[in-house]
Structure 1
Amino acid sequence: MEATAADVGAERLRAGDLLVPTSGVRVLRSDEVTFESRARAFAAVLPQPFAFSHLTAARLLDLPAPRIWQPDEPLHVMRPKGTPLIVRAGVKSHRGLERRDTEFVDGLPVTDPIETWADLGSELAEDDLLAMADALLARDLARPKDLDRTAADRRTRGSAALRRCAPLARAGAASPWESKARHAFLSWGLPEPELNVDVFTPEGRWLAKPDFLWRERRIVGEYDGDQHRTNRSQWQYERERRAGLEDAGYTYVEMTSLSLVSRQHRRALRERLTRLLSE
């Protein structure tokens, strides 16, 4: 309809320099295809009222997602009860919008952050749910009591996972992988560490701000992302900081994504931390 109003003919709409992300939409083939551009293209033809939900809403809200976006990932769209489900390639349709608060991100309607987290209760692994809950607290998008109430109110599949994660969420987590590591510690029955707190010598000299601190046992844990390996100055800083902590009598436990995703490395980390924290 917009093409007709703009006097764009059918021949132009069939031109080879155009892509069809979804029926009724044309974009230039030269334009970069991104998650945001794909969502915006679909939003132009989706029936009102609707809001993006679930993982699509999480991505638009810049909440931590469990995997990198791929162009074939379906867009999750929610509509009110009583309206037709959307039948369109590339869309996964949901109902229940009448029970959700919504907001706009760059003009695109999305379910609000807490509702988005709760909707993902049945679709994400528990450590990913915790990472998202931590991010909500860290960004002041929710309070602990909001997570508790939302989890308690849900009676759908995944609600048990929400109720387990809500009281474990902490604003001090600085990254999704730190949240995943903490989830592992707690699932192993280990004491909960302090998160990203300053450590000083008895004389008051600052030593570090480690990711994890078991103060009584004088154990610090650090999750090292890829930047610690690829950035030489970062690598050097970490080595010097580690030396300072060890000179002050702290045991330094280094971990990476491999420590959490590899069965062998995960078992080794668990056995080491269990031994250190029980000595």
Structure 2
Amino acid sequence: MYEPRGLTRKSLAASGMSEHHISKALRSGELAGIAHGLYLWRKDFDALGPVGRHRVHARHIASGLDTDEAISHISAAVLHGIDVWDVPLRRVHVSRPPSRSGRVTSGLHAHTTNWDDGEITQVLGVPVTSVARTVVDLARTLPRDQAIAVGDAALRSDPSAATQIPRVLEASRCRYGLVSASSVLQFLDGRSESVGESLSRIRILEYGLPAPDLQRELVTVDGRRVRVDFYWEDLGVVGEFDGHEKFTEPQDLIDERRWEDGLRDLGLEVVRWDPEELETFEVVVRRFERAVARHRMWALDRAQ
């Protein structure tokens, strides 16, 4: 996949652009800045979006790292291709040994830390903290919602990281934010297929609802296999998070109605919620409670 490299005045001059033309391109917007002294052509800037631009910035910073440094934290997540959500991307994060000084500038956050074996890997020729180390670092430093959303995405993209996380966490026992990290890491589940599903699991816990099974496959009366986001088997309830991208074509709505009819034929109640309702989840809780009551009535009628 094509990915542009960041441009500097030096690289632009080497390609034949004069200082006058560089300044003119910057004034006109043909060149757009992504960090101090680092630019992209406007078409690349617009096509990449914030995450893609951060990846370009991180790779540029990585080209100047010393041998004892590595891209880390949210910048490592971006280079690993892990979905990130609602996190600042202005600064590239780098980790280095405690013998070096940490610092924060407008475009760089340098952390001091120790490495254990296996905690540094290579991505696109760039030294990057491993997925497991990245997840632990973010669990220590990000707000809970963001840490879980990124952590779920990391385990979704690399399930093997789950077996490495306990060892990395143990090695991090003297670092800042370990208590918060332990709580976050115990909650992670790579079966969450989107940020919305990760946030839904958080809200379900916060509002005291029973823990559901995730991505459960069910067989309808007519033999179709369907997979549901959340399943409370003992309560006879299915939960579905409806992201804005879920129904993009008319056929999507038709398929979804058939899917829901198939579940109701099994005697299951379906509770749905959307991204906005994650902020007013008590509405979903009441909907869930009504669904549980309806299933109980159905079960009583069936038993008679």
- Scaled by the length of structure 1, the TM-score of the pair is 0.81
Match 2:44 to one of 13, 32, 35:
32
Q: Displacement of 1:22 after TM fit?
A: 5.1
The offset of 1:113, in angstroms, is 0.9
Distance 1:14 1:179 in 2: 45
Give the letter for the 2:93 counterpart.
H
Given that 2:231 and 2:238 are in contact with CA atoms closer than 8 Å, whether structure 1 keeps it comes out as yes
Higher helix share: 2
SS at match of 2:109: strand
Partner of 1:267: 282
Query: In the TM superposition, what whole-angstrom CA distance separates every residue of 1:5-57 from its partner, at most 9, and x where no partner exists?
Result: 9697984795433656556x565644523222222333334455422211111
Provide closer, same or farther for how the CA distance between residues 80 and 141 of structure 1 changes in structure 2, counting only shifts above 3 A.
farther
Aligned to 2:76: 57
User: By how many angstroms is 1:239 displaced?
Assistant: 1.8
2:136–2:185 Cα contact (<8 Å) kept? no
| Map of 1:188 onto structure 2 | 207
CA–CA distance in 2 between the matches of 1:22 and 1:208?
47
Aligned position for 1:165: 184
Which amino acid in structure 2 is aligned with residue 32 of structure 1? D
Unaligned runs of 5+ residues in structure 2 are 1-8, 46-52, 297-304
Among all aligned residue pairs of Structure 1 and Structure 2, give the percentage whose two residues are the same amino acid: 26
CA-to-partner distance for each residue in 1:158-198, whole Å, 9 max, x for gaps? 22222123333333222222122112212333222111121
Structure 1 portions without partners, runs of 5+: none
After superposition, the Cα gap between the structure-2 partners of 1:145 and 1:169, relative to the gap in structure 1 and judged at 3 Å, is same
Alignment CA distance shift 1:258-1:152 (3 Å): farther
Give the CA deviation at 1:157. 3.0
Distance 1:120 1:206, change over 3 A: same
Match of 2:3 in 1: none
In structure 1, distance between residues paired with 2:21 and 2:103: 24
Shift, 1:234, TM fit: 1.6
Q: CA deviation at 1:115?
A: 0.9
The secondary structure found in structure 2 opposite 1:211 is strand
TM-score (norm 2): 0.75
Q: 2:154 aligns with which of 131, 136, 150?
A: 136
Give deviations 1:69-119, integer Å, cap 9, x for gaps. Answer: 76xx11112222212445653111211154572222222322111111111
